[in-house]
Amino acid sequence: MNNKHDSKYRTAAFNWLHEQVAIHGDVLPWELLKQGFEIEGKRITLVGPQGIWKPAVFPEIPLSIMTKIDGPYNDAFSSDGLLLYRYQGTNPSQWDNAGLRKAMREQTPLIYFYNLVKGHYLAIFPVYIVGDNPGDLAFTVAVDDEQFMKLNGSADSSLLAGSGADARRLYVTSTVKVRLHQRTFRERVIDAYREQCALCRLKHRELLDAAHIIPDSDPLGEPIISNGLSLCKIHHAAFDNNILGIRPDYTVEIREDILKETDGPMLKHGLQGLHDTQIIMPRENSLRPDPARLEHRYTIFKKAG
């Protein structure tokens, strides 16, 4: 297969990913990625058993790289803000590693999948291999703006290399790193609460948020599960706006003036009916809301009332 065919299938994979993100959001299920799509009678899968994945239609350069939360490799962001992605195995010449080295030479865009929780992956694209360190058995990976993606030779080469490109990619990668941490917090909190609202039991994942007990702008607002609550969007807004509070003993309290209001069924059942009820909690004690953080937040709620 020549570069023209590689570009055609790679472009199709990016377009298919855009369609799936529009439907499901940027956190995609493993089974969907594993199934992939068909083009010209050929099936292109986005992931496989190896972290460096090259479907059969791509002869040399892989399509995607992946980090698993329980995987054997310690992928991490370096001090300079870029991703260090570990080699497959310890042989720099192993064919997966050779494929990524060729992707670096030709500046071929790849897809990066980051495993947030079991069976769900954040899709980040395009990413580029921008460095190779055999001594550390790692490649350096940067995320870039898609408008500069080089496929079919369409991009200006001056936009893909040099100090301007390096600065742009560092900036884009830093914003993606923040998004990765936000998505990780959301997915792990929702997973801990068994994909339901801790107040009303709504089970539609797309309607759930990970609410911070202590806001992330506060020094105590760490992005950890014990500082989070899985809430539907209405109850998240009510919690953030101090319409409802949660006591350190996990009891819901509705603000007094809201309890006195008369309105439709949403107010009656969706808010007032929660007063003095217990929240649903994760099964693991270590994942339950931190009582000290709840007490701190409850003090703010009482002042607002």
For 80-138, what is each residue's pLDDT tens digit? 889 999 999 999 999 999 999 999 999 999 999 999 999 999 999 999 999 999 999 99
pLDDT band for 154, please (50, 70, 90 cuts). Answer: very low
Give me the pLDDT at residue 163, please.
64
CA atoms of 93 and 136, how far apart (whole Å): 14
pLDDT band for 2, please (50, 70, 90 cuts). Answer: low
pLDDT digits (tens, 9 = 90+) for 240-260: 999 999 999 999 999 999 999
pLDDT digits (tens, 9 = 90+) for 96-109: 999 999 999 999 99
Task: Report the DSSP beta bridge partners of residue 128.
Answer: 142
pLDDT digits (tens, 9 = 90+) for 52-83: 999 999 989 999 999 998 767 778 888 888 99
* Strand segments (E) across the chain: 27-29, 37-39, 42-44, 52-53, 64-67, 76-77, 83-86, 110-117, 120-133, 138-143, 208-212, 228-232, 244-246, 252-254
pLDDT band for 155, please (50, 70, 90 cuts). Answer: very low
Residue-range domain boundaries for the chain: 3-189, 195-304
Q: Structure pTM?
A: 0.83
pLDDT band for 153, please (50, 70, 90 cuts). Answer: very low
pLDDT band for 305, please (50, 70, 90 cuts). Answer: confident
Task: Report the DSSP beta bridge partners of residue 270.
Answer: none
